[in-house]
Amino acid sequence: MEIKNGDVLILKAPKEITGELYLDKKRIFWIADPNDKNQNIAILAANYRQKNDMVAKSFVNGKTETEILKLIKGNYKSEELKVEPKKVNPPKSALIRIKKELDEANKIYAVTEKKYFFNAPFIIPLSSYITSNFGNARTFNGNLKSYHSGIDYRAVIGTEIIASNDGIVRIAKDRYYAGNSVVIDHGGGIFSQYYHLSKISVQPNERVNRGQIIGLSGQSGRVTGPHLHFGIAINGISVNPLSFIEQFNSLVFER
């Protein structure tokens, strides 16, 4: 089996033959297929910065099976961006806030609900032109180097943004880098992210439906102009949103 850095490999198997599963010693949970309760789904995710092949181990009925996942390097591009200097070199007064927001998000992503909160395919939150793809190596103001953890869609300020699927809102607040942000927990370790909004229309712990308006696009946070950043995180690992949606919908909902 193969997996690209910054991407997923989604497994599906009959419930009776799925036991404990680990990827590089990290527990990966099998979750009941929302479209077929006799099947289970497991999502393996490779970090963008993953350098080596990965090892998957499963323990079923007293037997251990080991599979090497060959890492394929993604053909990601690069881009240079200019933003506010304080968004590249934050003042000391902002560092505590940045760390608090990061710790809060990591704590949320560390929790895997053992069920999916949806029973329909994922959809994109906005039909628009993509201005920046997932995985682009980024240089900010000629100095700070990073990578793009989602996809940017062109959107004039005030464009309605919809939820990619049913779920529970875990974050709905202004953050230093991401600006006005909404993060939705879809269960099974799947989280969708909507950043740089001008308005947030939902509250933490609110249940939202697929296609529901959750906010309006904007240019808050670290941006070069108005747009929507849409991301998907699997067990805290940022992955290509479009690749995830295509793979998951194809495996689970297409017959």
**Average pLDDT over every residue of 227-244:** 96
Residue type, 193: Q
Would you state the pLDDT for residue 144?
63
Confidence of residue 108 (pLDDT cuts 50, 70, 90): very high
Domains defined for the chain, CATH in brackets: 2-72 (2.60.40.1590), 78-253 (2.70.70.10)
Answer whether residue 86 shows pLDDT above 90. Answer: no
pTM for the complete prediction?
0.94
Tell me the pLDDT tens digit for each residue of 202-225. Answer: 999 999 999 999 999 999 988 888
pLDDT tens digit string along 193-206?
999 999 999 999 99
Q: What is the dihedral of CA 133, 157, 170, 84, to 10 degrees?
A: 70
Fill in the amino acid letter for 25: K
Residue type, 83: V
Q: Are 239 and 45 in contact (CB under 8 A)?
A: yes
Q: Are 21 and 44 in contact (CB under 8 A)?
A: no
In this predicted structure, what is the pLDDT of residue 85?
A: 80
What confidence category does residue 255 fall into, taking pLDDT thresholds of 50, 70 and 90? Answer: low
The mean predicted confidence, pLDDT, of the chain is: 93
- Which has more pLDDT, 254 or 242? 242
pLDDT of res. 140:
80
Question: Measured between alpha carbons, how far is 134 from 149 in angstroms, rounded to an integer?
Answer: 6
